[in-house]
Structure formats: C-alpha cells, structure tokens
Structure 1
Amino acid sequence: MSSFAGAAMRGAGVFSAPPALGPDLQVRRSRRWRVFGAVFIACSVLGLIYDFSRPAEYRAEARVQITPAASLPPVSSSQQPSNAAPPPAPGLADEVQRLTGRPLIERVRDQLHRAGVEMDGLESADAIQRILSAEAVADSRIVELSAVGRHPDALARLVNGLIGVYRDEIAEQFQKTAAQTLTQSREELDRLSARIAEKRAAVEAFQAQHNIVSANHQENALLSGVKDMSTSLNVANDRVVAAEARLRSLRESAAAGKSIERARDNPTLASIEQRASQTREALRDMERNYTADYMAIDPNARALRARLAELEAQLKAQRSASRDASIAEAQEELATAQEAANRLRQQMAGARGVVQSFAIRVSEYKAMQDELDQLEALHRSSLERLVKLEASERARMPSLSVIEWASTPHDTWRPRYARDAAIVLAAALLAALFAVWLVDYLQSRGPQPAVVVSPVWLGGGASAVQIGPNAQPPQLQAARPDLLPAPLALPRELSDSESSALLAAASGASRVALRCLFAGVDPSELLILRAGDVDLEQAALRVGGASQRRIGLTADALADLRSEAPDQPLLRNAAGAPLDRAALDSLLLCLAHDAGVQAPAEVTADALRHSYLSHLARQGVRFSDLALRVGAVPAERLAAYSAMAPTGQRLAAEQVDWFYPPVH
C-alpha cells in the first residue's frame, strides 16, 4: 500500500500518503478469508461428493455393414393384381429402425436371461431400448450400434447378441418373404392359365357359331364377296361416267362439224383419204407443168378433178356414217353400264343387313381375341417374373457383415469425473468470490478517513493530508487574511522496497545519513552530530539539542556509524569537512538516482525521515513514545500521522518495530 501511495504521489502529485491500514482492515481481511474458505470448501466438498458419487457408465460399440434385400423383378403388365407380390425391399433407414426395434430386443433379452447374464436395471425391453443407439454413417451402408450402461460385460454381450439375432431375423424374414412371393407368383400363373383356357374355348365357340374364319375381313367369304361386289359397283359407276363423257364429247364434236373418228381407226375412211390425197398430188403436178387454160381443156385434168370431187363426197358420207355409228355405240355402252350399276346396287342393298350383322360378329370376335392375347401376354410376363424370382433368389438375399464386434469396455464413458471436478472447483471459486463480495457489501463499515486535497491554485503546489475519522483537520496557515489557509504539504513517502534499495546502494556518508534518518534523527540534528555521539558500549546514538535523547541502534547501524575520530562531524565529506543541508540533499539525490528509485528528485532528508515516521504511525505507536524516539514533531505533522494510525488500542514501546526498513 505504501508503494501504491508513493506511485500516486509521484504520478499525480496530489496524495502524500495512502489511506490508513489498521486493525479494522486486518479484521476485514480475516473475515474475507474465513468466508472465502468456508464457501469454497463447502461448495467443493458438496460438488466433488456429487461428482464422484455418480455411477460410472460404459459404452460398448460395434460396426456392421447392412446390405438390404434387392428389389423384386418388375412386372411388365399394367394389370398386375393387387395381391400379386409383396411390397418393395426396405432401405437402410428401415433396417436401422428394425435393428433397435422391440421384437429383436425382446429376443436378445430372453437369450441373455437364459445365459445367466446379469441385467440389473435392464429387465424390460423399454429399458434396453433406451440405452441402445444405432446410427448410419453418411454415404455408406455402415451402421454404428452402441449401448451405454453400468455393466460393461452385459453391454458387449447385448450388442453382439443383437447383431446375431438381427442376422437370423433377416435371413428368416427373407426366406419367408421369398417363399410367399414364389407361392403367390405360381398361384397367379395358374389363375391366368385357367382364364386363358376358358377364354380360348369361348372364342372358338363364338367363331364356330357365326362361321368366322378370322378377324381379318378378307379371310371371310361373305365379307370378301361384299367387298368384291362393292369393288364391281365402283367399276360400273366409273364406266357409266366414262360412257356419259364419251357420248357428250361425240355429240359436241358432231355439232361443231369436227371429225369424230380418226382415219387410222377406220380402214375405209383411210383408203378414201389416201386416194383423194393421191389425186390432189397429181393435179398439183399438172398445175406446175401446164397453164390453167390448158388444164381446163385437158381431158386428164378434168378427169382428175371429177375423181377428186367424187372422193371428197365419199369421204364426207363415210365420216357422217362413222359419226352416227360412234354416237349409237356410245349410247349403247352408256345404257349397258347404267344397267350393270343398277343391278349391283340392288345386290348391295339386299346384302347390307347380312353384312352389318356379320361385321358386328366379327368385331365381337376381334375384341374377344384381343382380350385373349392380353391374357396370354400377362401369362408370359408372370411366367418370366417367376423364372427371374427363382433364378435371383440367392442374389436378392440381404446380408450383414460385421466390421467390428463389440468388446467389453474398460474405460468410463461418462461421467467425466476429472472434467466435472475441475468445473466444480471453478464454480466453488466463483461462489466463494461472490460470497466474499456479498459479505463485504452487506457488512456495515465504519467511517473512512477523509482526504483534504489542496488545489494548485491555492499556492504551494498540489498536496494532500489524510485526517482520521475522530481527528480534527489540521489548521492551515493562511497566506492572506482573505484566503483560506493552504493545506499541509507532506514529503514523499518511500516504500519498503525503495528504502531497502537505497540502503543497499549507499556507502560512506550516504550510508551514515540513511542510518541516522531511518532512526528518527531530524536533518538539522544530523548536521551537528559528532562521531563521539555514537555510544559503542550501549549501542545507542546520543542526540543533543532541544530534543535530547538516546536512540538504540542495530549491530549493522552501529558498524556503519563507528568512527575512529570522535571529534569529527559524523556526517562529513571525503576531506573531513561537515556537510550542509544542500550538500546532504545533493548526496541523497545521487544515491536515489544510483539505486534506480523513481522520481529521485523527491528523495530528500525530510522524505526519508517522514517514511520512518509513517512506518511507526501505521503500527499504532503511542505519540508519547514517538517523541522519545524522534524528538519533537510539529502538531500539523502529528495530525497527519494520527490519520495514518489504525483504529483501536495503541501499541506499547516494546511492541513497536523501531527499526527501518523492516528487512534489515
């Protein structure tokens, strides 16, 4: 606490000393430790008892690979009966559920009971089911089967027994299912065979009754005759249309004076046209050789012209006769075609009723034949499926491969005693800390010492003095009547470690100064001390002046103050000359700097003596004994030291540790 006060004094320059640490603080510390220990021990004991009183549980684990039964061969026919085959084979998820199902667990339980395995707490299937767990490994057919309980041997046997029972179960179930499937397939095949035979007999009877050769119309005589008749009627109608068109064309040509018949089609007409052409050629030859006058009197020319006129008359007459003959022939052909078409129509009208009735029977026969074909196709599909079932029965059989059998576990799976014990201790520590805080919060505290702070603007620098709860604040001397008095500025107080560091680094005059100041000698008294004032026989230091007294010394201090020249100053330089106050402060500044003390400029003679007085005041020394040791102390300083004193009864002189620093 003193080091903290020193640090605060150096850093802020406000507080000269920390709050008083007295017996009340010691009482509070003692109470805190008692509360902390009681709560921590109680919580730890209760938690550890609960932790280690829990029964140990073990975990037996096995790994198996399950290959479910393959699916049944598909049925190609869409008219499969609803009871023709069992449902599809289950998947891996269904097998995992069946592995931990109640029927298998009951069988395993009965086996273990018959084997005399101790099943304490696992008499019911529900209890066994609660400790079992089966999980499928992702993207594989591997299943992890585990059991957690208090009996490691029973757990391992339970898991292994469950695997064996499951293997027997799937084999029996598959055999039963396969046999049932084959039986249903054979029964279905027999029913289809009976239906096919019955349907075939009905089709044959219908065919014989109605004289139906086949469902093909061309193979039935009646329908074939009707078809031929219809074809003939179509041909006759085509002839009628052609005859009408020919007759109309002949009449139009005759009306227009056009030749109806070509010469090559009529030999007579062709012969006449040939002779007329020869005659014309002969006349043209004569006209090229002779004049027209000559031609008019030439008998041959006139004979040729007469023959040509006769031939043209014959040609015209022959064409007229041919035209009339062609028209008459076309009329006759039209009449014949019309008569044939009428006759065929009458025949078709008479056979229409018979044909319609027969066509209906043929359609019925065709529907019966189609139904028979469908039954035969279903029969072939069922026969093929039965063959596949018989051939693939072994390939579809499910399998169970044990990757790792369950072994008897020897290590506790849960609870984790060490981890839980650490959690209990941590919780106990937190509970103890909370209890200490709660007690301190609920415990009423006495009045705290007040701290009077002097701002910088009041003059004299920033400083502070602590005032006890029952002490009057020190009187501040006012610099001016109209201003408040400035607070008392106390020197810096060194911590025990800083004082020890100074003493360890001191030598010569600086060590003599430290021994005297740490014994309570005032700096003004130190400057007038002589070497003869050190009483070697009594191990004491005689201090003169207004506060004459004898100060006891330790053996180390006595050795540091021993001198062979009693008439010389006790504090002197290397030349033997006495030191003044400025030289003393300079010596102490160098010592503080060499010792590595922070803010060495604040380490003065007053600061060292003040640190010693604060050491005595915090022990609870009586001020009357203090005056006998350190001499007269101003009232302002006594008020500050009184604030540092702990509450309660003061210590006697024999109980006070007069030596400083305490480690020496």
Structure 2
Amino acid sequence: MPAPKGAPEEAALARTSRRRVRVFLLTFILCLAVGLAWDLQRPALYSASASLLTVAPPEVDQQNVEADIQHVTIQKQRLLGRPLLERVARELATKNPGAELPGVDEIRAMLDVSILPETNLVELQAQGGDPALLSLLVNTWIESYLKLREEEVAALNARTVDVLREQYEALGKKIAEKRAALNDFRENNQILSTERDENQILSRLKGLNESLNTVNEEMVKARARLDAVEAAIARGETVVPEQDKRAYAQMVQRAQELREQVAEMNRRYTKQYIERSASLKVIPEKLAKLEAKILKSQRSGQDYVLTSARQDYAAARQTVESLRKQLEDFKAEASEFTARFSEYQAMQEDLAGLELLYRELEDRLVKVEVTNRAKYPQLQVVEWAYPPEKPIWPHYWRDAGIVAGVSLAVALLMVWLVDFLKPIARGTGRAGLGITIYPANAALEQQGQAVAPALGKKNSQQALPGTGIAELGVDRIARLLENADPFARQLIALLMSGLSAEEILRLEPSHIDLEKGEVAVPGDPPRKVGLAPGVVDWFEREGCPWLAWSGKDHFDREEIDARLQLAAVDAGLAESGQIDAELLRNTYLLYLVRQGIRLSELETIVGTMPARELLDLGRYSPAHAGKPASEVQLAYPLMA
C-alpha cells in the first residue's frame, strides 16, 4: 500500500491555501473598492417632463383633429429655438433673482422634445442634477411658449383681418366694374334676356328653322302624292277628284244596273222585239249615254287630279327654296349674335365667380372678426412638470452588484493566474503515492546517458524531420501520477509499459505475475511485458494481483479516456481535455524510439503495429539507431 504523505507536503498545501486566500481577498477588496468609488462618485441625473397639445382642443360638437406631423415638427423646432430659450432664461432670472442659473446654451443642452407618434402631443423633458430647478425650468419653458404663441396669434389675427378687408374691398370694386361692363355689352348688342330663345334675332332664327322643317315635310308629302297619282294612271286605275268620287260612284253603279237589265232583256227577248218595243229600246240607249258620261268624267277627273298634284308639289318646292334663301341671308346675322351672346354668358359666369368669391371672402372676414382667436388658447397643457423624486441615472444598486460580480470574477481569475504562473515544486524522494517523482533533468541523470535523449529535448540529429506525433512531457506525467487515484494510476502504468487500450480491456488479474514482474498480454500473437518495481506495488493488494476495474460495468475505451481526463483535471493540467490513452502510449513509444531501439524489435514490446506507424516513429530515431531491446531502458523513469 502507498505510504501517507509527510509533514512537508501538508505544510506546502497549507502555504498554497493561505496564498490563494490572500490573493483572492486582496484582489476582491481592491477591485470592489475601486468599483464602488467609481459607482458612487457619479452625480445623480434627474428628469422632469410635461405634455403639451400643440393645437387647439376641439369643440364639444366637433370631431377630433387629425395628427399634423408637419405642424408638430415645426413646433418642436420652435420650442428648441434660441429666441424662446432666451425668453426662458430671462423669465428664470426674474423668478429667481440672485440665484446662479444656467445660460442659454446650458438650457439648450438640458432640454429635449419628443413627439408622440400619430398625435399632436409633444413631451417636454429636462435633465440635470437639480430636481427643483428642472420642474421650474420646464414650467417656465411652457409659460414662455404660451405667451409667445398668444403674441403670434394676436399679430397673425390682426394681419389676417387687414389682408382680408383689403381683398374684400378690392374685389367689391372689381365686381362693380364687371357688372357695369356687362350691362353696356347687353345694351349694345340688343340682348333683351339672359335666356337664349327670348332674344329677337335668335327667336326669328328659330321660327325660320321650324317653318323650313314644316314646308319640307309638306313638299315631301306633295311629291309622294304626285308620284302616287302618276303611278295609278300608269296602271290604268280610275283617278277622280275627291269631291267627284261620290257622283262618279253613283254613275258606275247606275251603269252596272243598266247592264244587268240589258242582259236580262237580251235573254228574254229577241233583238227584233226589243227594237219594236219603245220601253225596251230606250234602255240600251241610256246605258250608252251613261258610259260615255263615265268615260268623260274619268278623263276630266284624271286631268284635274294630276294637275292639282303637280301644282301642290311646285308650290311646296317654291316655298322651301324661299325659306332656305331667307335662312341663308339671316345666318350671318344670327352667327354674330350667337357669338355676342356666348361672350355675354362668359361675362356672366365670370361675374358669378367673382360674386361667389366675394361672398366667401365676406364669410371668412366675418368669422375672423367674430371668432377673435387671440382670446382663446391655441394649445393645451396636458400635464405640468413636477419635481422628480428619484434619479433616472445612474442605477447605483444595480451597478454596485455588477461591480461586486466583476470583482469576484477578477479575484478568481487572479488566483488561477498566480497558481498557473507559480512553478511546481517536486520532492526528490518518494511521494505519498509510493512513487519517486523526478525533475526531468534529475531523472535523466539517474538513468544514465542512454536514457537522457529520450526524455530531454529532441535530438538535433534525428534520422528524419519530426512529423508532430503528440506526446506528454515528463513533468505533466509526474503531476498526473501524483494526483491520480488507483484506477487511473494502473491505467497510466500499463499504457506507459507498452499496452494499448484494447489490450487493457481484455486484461484479467490472472494475466499479471507479480513474482516475475510481468504481464501476459493476450492477443495474436500473445506477448509478455515487464513491469517496473514501482508498478508492481500499484497492482499488489494483500499479496494478490488486483485490477481496479475488475467487476466494473460499462468499462470500455471511452471510460479509460474519461478516467485519464479526470486525473488530468485533478492535477490542474490545462490540456486535460486532450489527454487520453493514445497520447500516453505515444509518449512511451517515443521514449523507446529516441533511445535508438531497433524498430523491428519494437513490436515485441508494444505489440503488432502497421508499418506506416513504425515509419513515422522512425523519424524520431537518433542518427545512430538500431540497438537491440536488451540495450535499451524499457521502464519509463517515473515508473522505476
């Protein structure tokens, strides 16, 4: 079993603890004092604010006024303008005679205006170290702005009334001149009425057009009647005057009756009988006379109707031509009158527009005079400023907490930095774990000149340039063994004896022969590896071989690396996350190669290896390599 630590080691640990406490307290108190001094020496900053509506509030029966972004922006610039701030400075001096007050530039630096989005509201703010002065400054600022606005509104109202009255009088004169010119124009051009059709020339023109349309219709009808008469005559139809139609119809009917009598008479009597009878003989004679009369009536009626139709058509055409001539003769006069009448109507429209503008101007003037905006405020103070009770900056308690946290972090960092920079003292005898820990140079001296190149700096005359195989320095391995538990110490001993992690996983207590000081490594082919005397002590418990991981569940390659890294963390190694089984085994391989061992015999110690890995290791061989294994120190110095 390993021997307990002695008094020197306990004293060293006590000194280290006291040093850490002193460094921590000194750093923490110093940082905390500096931070709190910086925190508390900062002057308090107060803020006072007020709200202002930049437009007149709406009447009870009116809708809310929409936000006017341009107007609000202009008022913001005016609130921060130098003329208003100079007035504020004068008002402050009047209210506080003899007091030390800020100047205009200082007041400008203290004030700010914020526009509330989508509203006509602005927030007036003042920041400084005197809370009473801030509220007084903001309220004086508002009062000065109110007075300025009242003066501006009064002046603007007076100017507006003067301008409107001047425009009103000038427009009245112009309307009178327009009205007189319109009357003269109407008299000179014989315009009797404002209605177009009521004027003589246009009325006559309208009558001629209506008469021409009527005569045209009559001419068309006369022509159609003439065409109908001629067509009837051409077809052989009977054409008689309208007044003769009744008499003509009676003659035709009488002739038809006589024909029927003659036909009946011819059927009943012979021709000789008819000629001898005086009563019968007269019937054919009457028929002949009647037919002659009908024929004469047809001819005379046809001539009359045709002549009458031609005369009507000729008369209608003559009338149309006469009216057209009159219309043509009158058209020039009518056109000139139409132009004059249109000009007259345009003059009327101009006069009506001027009269409308005159009435609007009159209404506006009356409203301005009646309303008198100077009597009513054009803005509203929503909230006045009050003296602030708490500062808005700095946050002393919050910043004090931050200072305390930063001081704690700096103190811890300083403790770590001091431990990191302080060299690690190592004893020359056995440590409390039962092993002897040597400084690198001392170990090499004890092992002789054959071992020195293996643990010192790389020999400047290697066979080939190094390829950068990772290894762990002897001082790091010493710290690792010093702080390792039995589990990790056994793993380190086997890895630094030439076993791989896979071979350790297959190892059983029966494979260890403590009497001979060797391990029978299972594999293909199996081999035996010697154990240094110090290593034998780590595997002996009550006279029997003992493996710390016997009976452990989930013992695998990851568990091996995790155990080694835990030991590195306990040893305070910065590269603890990089330490694993492969790194320790490579360190042992480089230890053998730098002694000049023959590479072909290296496999008898560490097991079968790929030729590529052997070639990489060969680059670390000294210039005169090729020693057999019997001439090389196989035990790592720290394991002796």
Q: TM-score, normalization: structure 2?
A: 0.60
Measured in 2, the distance between the counterparts of 1:18 and 1:241 equals: 149
Measured in 2, the distance between the counterparts of 1:385 and 1:89 equals: 26
Shift of 1:365: 2.1
Select the structure with the greater relative contact order (CA < 8 A; seq sep ≥ 6).
Answer: 1
Shift of 1:158: 0.6
Measured in 2, the distance between the counterparts of 1:213 and 1:17 equals: 141
Report the AA paired with residue 89 of structure 2: R
> Which residue in 1 is equivalent to 2:16?
28
Structure 2 counterpart SS, 1:439: helix
> Which residue in 1 is equivalent to 2:249?
273
Shift of 1:469: 4.7
Structure 2 counterpart SS, 1:59: strand
The verdict on how the C-alpha distance between 1:179 and 1:287 changes in structure 2, with shifts beyond 3 A counting, is same
Measured in 2, the distance between the counterparts of 1:144 and 1:211 equals: 71
Report the AA paired with residue 291 of structure 2: E
> Which residue in 2 is equivalent to 1:374?
353
Structure 2 counterpart SS, 1:22: helix
> Which residue in 2 is equivalent to 1:338?
317
Report the AA paired with residue 465 of structure 1: G
> Which residue in 2 is equivalent to 1:413?
392
> Which residue in 2 is equivalent to 1:465?
434
Deviations 1:78-115 (A, max 9, x none): xxxxxxxxxx9965555455444443332211100122
> Which residue in 2 is equivalent to 1:602?
none
- 2:546 aligned with 1:487: no
Report the AA paired with residue 516 of structure 2: R
Shift of 1:324: 0.9
Contact 1:449-1:466 at 8 Å conserved across structures: no
Measured in 2, the distance between the counterparts of 1:237 and 1:450 equals: 151
> Which residue in 1 is equivalent to 2:414?
435
Report the AA paired with residue 115 of structure 1: K
Deviations 1:203-242 (A, max 9, x none): 2222222223345442332333233233333434444333
> Which residue in 2 is equivalent to 1:523?
none
The more displaced of 434-443 and 211-220 is 211-220
Structure 1 counterpart SS, 2:537: coil
Structure 1 counterpart SS, 2:353: helix
Contact 2:258-2:287 at 8 Å conserved across structures: no
- 2:73 aligned with 1:104: no
Contact 2:255-2:291 at 8 Å conserved across structures: no
Shift of 1:140: 6.2
> Which residue in 2 is equivalent to 1:46?
34
Q: What is the CA RMSD across the aligned residues, in angstroms? A: 4.1
> Which residue in 2 is equivalent to 1:426?
405
Contact 2:150-2:374 at 8 Å conserved across structures: no
Report the AA paired with residue 312 of structure 1: E
The verdict on how the C-alpha distance between 1:335 and 1:96 changes in structure 2, with shifts beyond 3 A counting, is same
> Which residue in 1 is equivalent to 2:45?
57
Report the AA paired with residue 319 of structure 1: Q
Shift of 1:164: 1.8
Shift of 1:403: 4.8
Structure 1 counterpart SS, 2:388: coil
Q: 1:158 aligns with which of 114, 137, 140?
A: 137
Deviations 1:476-521 (A, max 9, x none): x9502764345335999xxxxxxxxxxxxxxxxxxxxxxxxxxxxx
Contact 2:57-2:379 at 8 Å conserved across structures: no
Report the AA paired with residue 184 of structure 1: V
Q: 1:220 aligns with which of 180, 183, 199?
A: 199
Measured in 2, the distance between the counterparts of 1:244 and 1:288 equals: 47
Between the two proteins, the alignment pairs up a number of residues equal to 448
Measured in 1, the distance between the counterparts of 2:137 and 2:429 equals: 77
Which ranges in structure 2 are unaligned for 5 or more consecutive residues?
Answer: 60-67, 447-512, 519-529, 542-637
> Which residue in 1 is equivalent to 2:268?
292
Shift of 1:46: 2.0
Measured in 1, the distance between the counterparts of 2:98 and 2:37 equals: 28
Contact 1:69-1:89 at 8 Å conserved across structures: no
Measured in 2, the distance between the counterparts of 1:450 and 1:395 equals: 105
> Which residue in 2 is equivalent to 1:176?
155
The verdict on how the C-alpha distance between 1:300 and 1:451 changes in structure 2, with shifts beyond 3 A counting, is farther
Larger Rg over CA atoms = 1
The more displaced of 283-292 and 413-422 is 283-292
Structure 1 counterpart SS, 2:434: strand
Contact 1:16-1:491 at 8 Å conserved across structures: no
Report the AA paired with residue 110 of structure 1: R
Structure 2 counterpart SS, 1:488: helix
Contact 1:276-1:308 at 8 Å conserved across structures: no
Measured in 1, the distance between the counterparts of 2:517 and 2:18 equals: 49
The verdict on how the C-alpha distance between 1:172 and 1:279 changes in structure 2, with shifts beyond 3 A counting, is same
Contact 1:132-1:146 at 8 Å conserved across structures: yes
Percent of matched pairs sharing the same residue: 31
Deviations 1:415-453 (A, max 9, x none): 222222222222222222222222222222323789999
Report the AA paired with residue 376 of structure 1: E
The verdict on how the C-alpha distance between 1:446 and 1:117 changes in structure 2, with shifts beyond 3 A counting, is farther
Contact 2:52-2:383 at 8 Å conserved across structures: yes
> Which residue in 2 is equivalent to 1:314?
293
Measured in 2, the distance between the counterparts of 1:301 and 1:270 equals: 29
Structure 2 counterpart SS, 1:133: strand
Alignment of 1:337-356 (within 5 A): 337-356=316-335
The verdict on how the C-alpha distance between 1:261 and 1:18 changes in structure 2, with shifts beyond 3 A counting, is farther
Measured in 1, the distance between the counterparts of 2:34 and 2:292 equals: 157
> Which residue in 1 is equivalent to 2:305?
326
Q: 1:211 aligns with which of 155, 170, 190?
A: 190
Structure 2 counterpart SS, 1:415: coil
Alignment of 1:387-536 (within 5 A): 387-390=366-369, 398-447=377-426, 465-467=434-436, 469=438, 479-480=515-516, 483-484=530-531, 485=533, 487-488=536-537
The more displaced of 370-379 and 176-185 is 176-185
Report the AA paired with residue 103 of structure 1: P
> Which residue in 2 is equivalent to 1:605?
none
Which ranges in structure 1 are unaligned for 5 or more consecutive residues?
Answer: 1-13, 72-87, 454-463, 493-642, 644-664
The verdict on how the C-alpha distance between 1:176 and 1:257 changes in structure 2, with shifts beyond 3 A counting, is same
The verdict on how the C-alpha distance between 1:171 and 1:90 changes in structure 2, with shifts beyond 3 A counting, is farther
Measured in 2, the distance between the counterparts of 1:441 and 1:355 equals: 120
> Which residue in 1 is equivalent to 2:179?
200
Alignment of 1:629-644 (within 5 A): none
Contact 2:56-2:380 at 8 Å conserved across structures: no
The verdict on how the C-alpha distance between 1:481 and 1:402 changes in structure 2, with shifts beyond 3 A counting, is closer
Measured in 1, the distance between the counterparts of 2:162 and 2:540 equals: 114
The verdict on how the C-alpha distance between 1:374 and 1:391 changes in structure 2, with shifts beyond 3 A counting, is same
Measured in 1, the distance between the counterparts of 2:103 and 2:320 equals: 103
Structure 2 counterpart SS, 1:465: coil
Contact 1:59-1:152 at 8 Å conserved across structures: yes
Alignment of 1:113-262 (within 5 A): 113-116=93-96, 122-124=102-104, 126-136=105-115, 143-214=122-193, 216-261=195-240
Please identify which structure carries the higher helix content. Answer: 2
Structure 2 counterpart SS, 1:148: strand
Alignment of 1:583-622 (within 5 A): none
